[in-house]
Amino acid sequence: MRKLWAYEILFGVLALSGALHSSPAFGTERSVVPEADGAAIDVAICLDTSNSMDDVLDAARLNLWEIVNDLATAQPTPRLRVALLSYGNSANERSAGWVRVETPLTEDLDLVSKRLFELTTSTGADEYVGRVLQTALERLDWADSNEAMKLVFIGGNEAADKDPLVDVFDLSREAIGRGVAINMIYFRAAGHIDASTWEEVARLGDGHFAVIEGRDDSVIAPTPFDRELAELGSQMNETYIPLGEAGREAHQNQASQDQNALSLDLAAAAARAEAKASPLYTCAWDLVDALETGRMTLPKVDESELPELLQQMTLEEREAYVEDMIYRRGELRLRIAELSEKRRQYVAEQIEAQGLDESRSFDSVVRRAVREKAEEKGFYFPES
């Protein structure tokens, strides 16, 4: 068993399921993941990257894919976008309050992972919670719909009200009017002040508040299914057909993020594989996704954007090739879903066998908080 540190509370561990739908490109039915229904969930993750937070970045990297797996169970299937912001880092601009938007709200989860792994900590900057919240509220392109679920998570360990230019309490009240809930996660360490300002921000921002004393006490058991899941996730990459130079770079980054997850441990790689098989993992650069969602039709694709192999094919040969990729990806998704369910059952059995109170772990507390907000917006989570 392995302890996970602070930022695990941002992310939950739940199931996903495959389903059947018809390919708009060819009209054939395959066992593939359903397209997102379009109900919006926007999540901004704001991380203190001062030196005092050195120990938590790997936990954030470790658990990015768990939030995807949790939200993938929501009905109707949401359209998930994630933004990443860093603050309290001297590598960021002083004029911006030491805040930087690492990624805007994006469906490109591999880009979010890439930026997470690129984050480093530093000294010499102030940790302004007010400034990072202001930046998140004003610079991110939040969904316009009142039905959208919009969440900010801020993690840090300095007083939340120390920003000399921005009143974080006023901002929290404003966030309610914008439909954005502010969730505060305070990491208490020896010698640090109490977390009362963090709790007040969460209260005013209609969000949730948690304190972590050093290491998080959540646990995840390594399972006998992790290695095969990681391998299946890697095999999925072979079913993607990148379009243009940007697509080829994104395809390479997909493999890089597999390696980043694997560098943490097999459990992280297994979680990423599950996420890649979910309806929330979409790649705008992929021809298969474009055809499956109806954004393109094969006869109208610019040949110069295709990989060299497909450029040499006739239209009929391309259709057969893409159909094979659709089929192979569907088969991989079904196998990943099957193994992921076994993995969850195994973890649950280990927790019960060791007498662990899962309901008191931070990840479970925050998972319940996220689900509460989602259910207020009309999302439904089937029992796992």
For every residue of 139-201, which 3-state class applies, written as one string?
A: HCCCCCCCCCEEEEEEEECCCCCCCCCCCHHHHHHHHHHCCEEEEEEEEECCCCCCCHHHHHH
Query: Does 362 lie in the same domain as 277?
Result: no
Query: Does 120 lie in the same domain as 245?
Result: no
Question: Does the pLDDT at position 298 exceed 80?
Answer: yes
Query: Does 124 lie in the same domain as 253?
Result: no
By the 8 A CB rule, do 286 and 276 touch? no
Domain harbouring 158, CATH code: 3.40.50.410
Question: Does the pLDDT at position 371 exceed 90?
Answer: no
Query: Does 192 lie in the same domain as 249?
Result: no
Compute CA 90 distance to the chain's CA centroid, rounded to the nearest angstrom. 26
Count Cα atoms within 13 angstroms, Cβ side, for 307: 18
Question: Does the pLDDT at position 242 exceed 90?
Answer: yes
Structural domain includes residue 321: yes
Query: Does 70 lie in the same domain as 212?
Result: yes
Query: Does 73 lie in the same domain as 120?
Result: yes
Structural domain includes residue 21: no
The pLDDT of residue 193 is 67
Query: Does 312 lie in the same domain as 174?
Result: no
The pLDDT of residue 367 is 74
The pLDDT of residue 217 is 46
Question: d(Cα 366, Cα 163) in Å, to the nearest integer?
Answer: 26
Structural domain includes residue 384: no
CB atoms near residue 243 (< 10 Å): 22
The pLDDT of residue 286 is 98
Angle between helices 244-264 and 226-236 in degrees, nearest 10: 170
Query: Does 89 lie in the same domain as 71?
Result: yes
Total domains, the chain: 2
pLDDT digits (tens, 9 = 90+) for 181-230: 999 988 876 556 678 999 999 999 999 998 876 544 455 668 999 999 99
The pLDDT of residue 61 is 80
pLDDT digits (tens, 9 = 90+) for 330-341: 999 999 999 999
Question: d(Cα 62, Cα 58) in Å, to the nearest integer?
Answer: 6
Question: d(Cα 381, Cα 81) in Å, to the nearest integer?
Answer: 19
What would the mean pLDDT of 48-58 be, rounded to a whole number? 79
Count Cα atoms within 13 angstroms, Cβ side, for 149: 27
Question: Does the pLDDT at position 107 exceed 90?
Answer: yes
What would the mean pLDDT of 143-160 be, rounded to a whole number? 91
Question: d(Cα 45, Cα 153) in Å, to the nearest integer?
Answer: 5
Question: Does the pLDDT at position 16 exceed 60?
Answer: no
Question: Does the pLDDT at position 18 exceed 60?
Answer: no
β-partners of residue 100 are 86
Burial group, residue 360, by CB count within 10 angstroms (0-12, 13-18, 19+): exposed
Structural domain includes residue 8: no
- 48, 111, 282, 305, 310 from 285: Cα distances, Å: 31, 12, 9, 10, 15
**Confidence class of residue 273 from pLDDT cuts 50, 70 and 90?**
very high
- Please state the pTM of the whole predicted model: 0.86
The pLDDT of residue 359 is 57
Query: Does 200 lie in the same domain as 91?
Result: yes
The pLDDT of residue 10 is 37
**Confidence class of residue 288 from pLDDT cuts 50, 70 and 90?**
very high
Query: Does 341 lie in the same domain as 270?
Result: yes
Of 16-30, 243-257, 263-277, where does the model show the most confidence? 243-257
Question: Does the pLDDT at position 32 exceed 50?
Answer: no
Structural domain includes residue 81: yes
**Confidence class of residue 28 from pLDDT cuts 50, 70 and 90?**
very low
Structural domain includes residue 67: yes
Structural domain includes residue 247: yes
Question: d(Cα 213, Cα 304) in Å, to the nearest integer?
Answer: 55
The pLDDT of residue 13 is 28
What would the mean pLDDT of 35-47 be, rounded to a whole number? 79
The pLDDT of residue 30 is 36
Query: Does 234 lie in the same domain as 189?
Result: no
Q: How large a percentage of the chain has pLDDT more than 90?
A: 61
User: Please, what is the average pLDDT of the chain?
Assistant: 85
Structural domain includes residue 4: no
What would the mean pLDDT of 293-304 be, rounded to a whole number? 94
Q: Which domain holds residue 246?
A: 226-351
Query: Does 139 lie in the same domain as 153?
Result: yes
Q: Which two tokens stand for residue 67?
A: 């939030």
pLDDT digits (tens, 9 = 90+) for 156-193: 888 999 999 999 999 999 999 999 999 998 887 655 66
